[in-house]
Structure 1
Amino acid sequence: MKKNILITGTSTGVGFEAALLFAENNFKVYATMRNLNKSDSLQKEIKVRNLSIEILELDVTKNDSIINTVQTIINKDGKLDILLNNAGAGFAKTLEHASQDEIDWVTDVNYTGVIRTSKAVIPQMRKQQSGHIINITSIGGLVGQPFNELYCGAKFAVEGFTEALASYLTPAFGIQFSLVEPGGITTEFMSNAVEKTQNEQGELATGDYAPIFQKYISGAQNRAGDGEASPYQTGKEVAEVVLKVALSENPPIRIRTSEWAEKLGHLKTVGDPDGTKLVNQVQSFFL
């Protein structure tokens, strides 16, 4: 029987590429997105490639939406093998300049949404005594970066959340957990983040933050053109790492997706690159 996978945020970027890649590798894919009006590109590829992908509506900020979609999949297949939490959003802005609505939005999409989807699928995976939850975070989930404190904070939270679940659900119920940590990604996510930053740059273009903000923006633009040294990968390149993790017999707790991300996170990961030593130590301390 084919393994099935639920992927969030599949209208563009990593989620879009992952849906196609997993289907091409004999998975039954449930590709979900908040707005089904953005499904045209995926529908076109499904038809051209003749792939086993079903598109469903799912908004990670709405609990009822998640529960209904998960139940639809379980009713159809009687199981859920993999959850890929991919949906995310961000922007570069100081804490001082961010509104409370923006703070809540970044936290809700990037962190609370992962909690909601995980909570919805764990009962079924526990019943199965198997399953794999893969959370796409960021190198920003390991390393705090200028003007990204809100995004990094949410991704740090997902990292701790995932480590904690792995410390007891994996040995008790066979549910695997993995964190995929890209650097930059040349997708609509990045375009949206840059556009939002540029649109609001006026607030940061003057005053105390202006010199360091301009330096940050210039550095980001320069890094985008550094070829192999660039932090930016395509959505497909990241999706290929996700597929490798999903197919692994002993999947890592965490994995970086590029040399740039590996270098930036080196001081945090040098003693335990894939995160398994730490989780094993936590188990020995508490269980």
Structure 2
Amino acid sequence: MKKVVLVTGTSTGLGIAIAVQAAQAGHVVYASMRNTGKRGALDAQVEAAGVTLSVLPLDVQDTASIESAVETIIAEQGRIDVLVNNAGMGYARSLEQAEEADIQKILDINYMGVARCTKAVMPHMRKARSGHVINISSVGGLVGQPFNEVYCGAKFAVEGLTESMASYITPAFGIHFTAVEPGGIASEFANTVLDQINQTGGMLEDEYLPILQKYVSGSQSRQDTGAYQSADEVAAVVMRVMAAENPPVRTRTSDWSEAFTKLKTELDPDGRKQQALVVEQIL
């Protein structure tokens, strides 16, 4: 079935892969990004794949920008079947070292951006009594990790948002919610960890330094353990979730991410048992 799909954060990596694969699957795709002047990488992959899609400006930090993009799609297509909340950014810095402005930015993009975009599409999906919101989370939304407390905090919030909305909106209105939880994207590795640390003041000469150096060394060595997938591999999982008749509330994207989160997910891998229990005991 052809769906109208809105994807955020499509100027790089995973966002591009999701948009292109959705177009290859025959869907009507709106690829969005904060600055459409940075669409070059997307355009190149769209051309290479021989597909077509539309590009819209959408800044997840700007409610007016989000509403404008949603209104454009509704005017042109009459509906939005799938929202993929992909826009986000990583951050590696201890809470003690982090600048408050950086903390606010991570929370605003990674959590508030998801909330704003979801809020904007909800009236249209609710009217249609159908729809699917797919939130690109992380294993960091399930398991806290060293120097990632700010990032993990934002992703934990996305997980809570996803679970909560699935608990009552799905049974009442037929709108599904899924958190997709990859371990890491290989193509974006160079733009994480070291680069982010350097962009936010570099490695500080303090008591955290030896722990941080061990963390960075481990991040580099994990490239050979299966922790990092290609953007296309993760996008393929998103496509399977998008095509599912009864999509999961959460799903990991690799054997590594399954093993890493096993202690928290083994009893209820897809989140459906917890969803049913909440409905039974609260509604």
Which residue identity lines up with residue 164 of structure 1 in the other structure? Answer: S
Which residue identity lines up with residue 269 of structure 1 in the other structure? Answer: T
Structure 1 residue 57: deviation in Å? 0.4
Among 257, 262, 265, the residue aligned to 2:258: 262
CA distances 1:178-228 after superposition (whole Å, capped 9, x unpaired): 010000112347514431214557443x2211221111111111111x2xx
Structure 2 partner of 1:218:
217
CA distances 1:92-149 after superposition (whole Å, capped 9, x unpaired): 1000111111000000000000000000001000000000000000000000000000
- Once residues 164 and 190 of structure 2 are traced to their aligned partners in structure 1, the CA distance between those partners, rounded to angstroms, is 29
- Once residues 202 and 147 of structure 1 are traced to their aligned partners in structure 2, the CA distance between those partners, rounded to angstroms, is 13
Q: Secondary structure at the match of 2:83?
A: strand
CA RMSD in angstroms comes to 1.4
Change (3 A) 1:284 1:218: same
Structure 2 partner of 1:238:
234
- Once residues 49 and 106 of structure 1 are traced to their aligned partners in structure 2, the CA distance between those partners, rounded to angstroms, is 33
Structure 1 residue 16: deviation in Å? 0.2
Q: Secondary structure at the match of 2:143?
A: coil
1:145 and 2:145 aligned: yes
User: Contact 1:179 / 1:255 at 8 angstroms: preserved in 2?
Assistant: yes
Q: Secondary structure at the match of 1:230?
A: coil
User: Contact 1:252 / 1:274 at 8 angstroms: preserved in 2?
Assistant: yes
- Once residues 180 and 186 of structure 1 are traced to their aligned partners in structure 2, the CA distance between those partners, rounded to angstroms, is 16
Unaligned runs of 5+ in 1: none
Structure 2 partner of 1:60:
60
Structure 1 residue 18: deviation in Å? 0.6
Which residue identity lines up with residue 253 of structure 1 in the other structure? Answer: V
Structure 1 partner of 2:272:
276
User: Contact 1:91 / 1:194 at 8 angstroms: preserved in 2?
Assistant: no
Which residue identity lines up with residue 209 of structure 1 in the other structure? Answer: Y
Structure 1 residue 52: deviation in Å? 2.9
Unaligned runs of 5+ in 2: none
Change (3 A) 1:2 1:199: closer
Structure 1 partner of 2:249:
253
- Percent identity, aligned pairs only, is 51
Q: Secondary structure at the match of 2:104?
A: helix
Aligned length: 283
Q: What does residue range 81-100 of structure 1 map to in structure 2 within 5 Å? A: 81-100=81-100
